[in-house]
Amino acid sequence: MKGPKPAPWIGKIPAYVPGTSKDTVTERYGIKNPIKLASNENPLGPSPAALEAADAARAGMHLYPDPDALELRAAAAAFFRCRSDQIVAGNGSDEILDLLCRAYLVPGREVIIPALTFSYYRIASLVCGAEVVVSAMDGFAVDVDDIIERASEKTGIVFVANPNNPTGTCLKQADILKLVSALPPETLIVLDEAYAAFVREKGFMSAVKLIDEHSNVATIHTLSKSHGLAGLRVGFCVAGEPVISTISRIKPPFNMNIMALKAGAAALGDKEFLKQTLEVTWQGLDYLYEEVGRLGLAYVPSQTNFVLIHIGERYLRVYEELLKRGIITRAMTSFGLDGYLRVSIGLPGENEAFVRALREVL
Ligand code: PMP
């Protein structure tokens, strides 16, 4: 049927492919409580402090939320070691990515995106009519030299997830410094640190340290993973004054709902919950490395709360067989990486159930 005419570039946008939901598995295979290891969520649930704050906030749902997110930004400033006026809060970091693209892209401007990374960078860029330039990977790692080679005066934004999704690799301090010093101040460098809390690698550096010196560096953060608030939607941009004042102008005034404002601030202050999250994640990673290795499968050592496992040609069959056993992983087809499954770290019992099912279906 003919309808209204969208902008010409909208037709080029691939749909975002999310992880299979628990409801789908229940409906398709009649499994009551599937284990979802597909979207890098926090297996511990929300922090108790966040739950309590959200409960208390409910009574105020007839009032507009604070458009400046003052309390949440103060908590974020303490957590990320920066000033409140260097932060914009978003309805998930997806909204921050949208704001940056809308502010810094025009049709025809180029965006550099690594070949194997989070798919929303491409979607948010194409929405603005930008041209996506794909940067080749160095194995499973983002290749800073390749990005630098592809950059030109046409480049509006460079996106780098550090650590990267779905490979779990991270760039070291020297790589980030090289990237930042090679690109001109007109090019916005977005360093997405959605998984930074999970990094064990010694050479990692958060780019928040660079924002005072480099006005073209914008860092992205989320409470969806390490802080267990994926369903509430809390993300941040931490950057210098030019980027913050630019995206503040186009931010919808009431983008953060009252539960997200209150629970987000409480979650950032709950150090014990973060400690437990990291313990569960790191133990789970080490357990999976050992068991997956024992099954003779290769994996990519990860600095995040998920791991990429090489299954080979039969990976889609293995993915389906795991679903039938109530284990939801992520087949990497939509990321353009055949032969691999990405598995989020769950609770110890969930990781064990995954290994048992994998052993059965291989
Ligand atoms: N960046 C990366 C690298 C991600 O993996 C994700 C979530 N999958 C996001 C950003 C978006 O996170 P959210 O919108 O939940 O904050």
By most ligand atoms within 8 Å of CB, the mutation choice from 72, 120, 142, 199 for ligand 1 is 120
pLDDT at 12: 82
CATH 3.90.1150.10 corresponds to the domain 16-45+272-361? yes
Whether the per-residue pLDDT at 1 is higher than 80: the answer is no
Query: What is the atom index within ligand 1 of the atom nearest the CA of 97?
Result: 10
Mean pLDDT of 325-340: 95
Q: Nearest Cα to 360, choosing from 301, 352, 298, 43?
A: 352
pLDDT at 95: 98
pLDDT confidence bin for 302, thresholds 50/70/90: very high
**How far does residue 114's CA lie from ligand 1's centre (Å)?**
16
Q: Per residue in 210-268, pLDDT tens?
A: 999 999 999 999 999 999 999 999 999 999 999 999 999 999 999 999 999 999 999 99
Query: What is the atom index within ligand 1 of the atom nearest the CA of 195?
Result: 3
What residue type is assigned to position 165 of the chain? N
Give me the percent of the chain exceeding a pLDDT of 70: 100
**Going by CA atoms, what residue is nearest to atom 12 of ligand 1?**
93
CA atoms within 13 A on the CB side of 59: 4
State the span(s) of the chain assigned CATH 3.40.640.10.
48-269
Using CA atoms, how far apart are residues 160 and 157, in angstroms rounded to an integer? 10
State the span(s) of the chain assigned CATH 3.90.1150.10.
16-45+272-361
Q: Is the pTM of this model over 0.85?
A: yes
User: Whole-number mean pLDDT of the chain?
Assistant: 97
Mean pLDDT of 113-121: 96
- Is the Cβ–Cβ distance between 190 and 164 less than 8 Å? no
Query: What is the atom index within ligand 1 of the atom nearest the CA of 94?
Result: 14
Site of tokens 């009519």: 129
pLDDT at 232: 97
**How far does residue 190's CA lie from ligand 1's centre (Å)?**
13
Query: What is the residue-wise DSSP string for 242-290?
Result: HHHHHHHHHS-TT-S-HHHHHHHHHHHH-HHHHHHHHHHHHHHHHHHHH
**How far does residue 198's CA lie from ligand 1's centre (Å)?**
14
Q: Per residue in 11-43, pLDDT tens?
A: 889 887 888 899 999 999 999 999 999 999 999
Q: Per residue in 39-81, pLDDT tens?
A: 999 999 999 999 999 999 999 999 999 999 999 999 999 999 9
pLDDT at 307: 98
Query: What is the atom index within ligand 1 of the atom nearest the CA of 225?
Result: 15
Q: What is the CATH number of domain 48-269?
A: 3.40.640.10
- What is the bridge-based pairing of β-strands 340-344 and 330-331? antiparallel
pLDDT at 15: 81
By most ligand atoms within 8 Å of CB, the mutation choice from 39, 72, 117, 118 for ligand 1 is 118
pLDDT at 102: 98
Q: Per residue in 138-153, pLDDT tens?
A: 999 999 999 999 999 9
Query: What is the atom index within ligand 1 of the atom nearest the CA of 224?
Result: 15
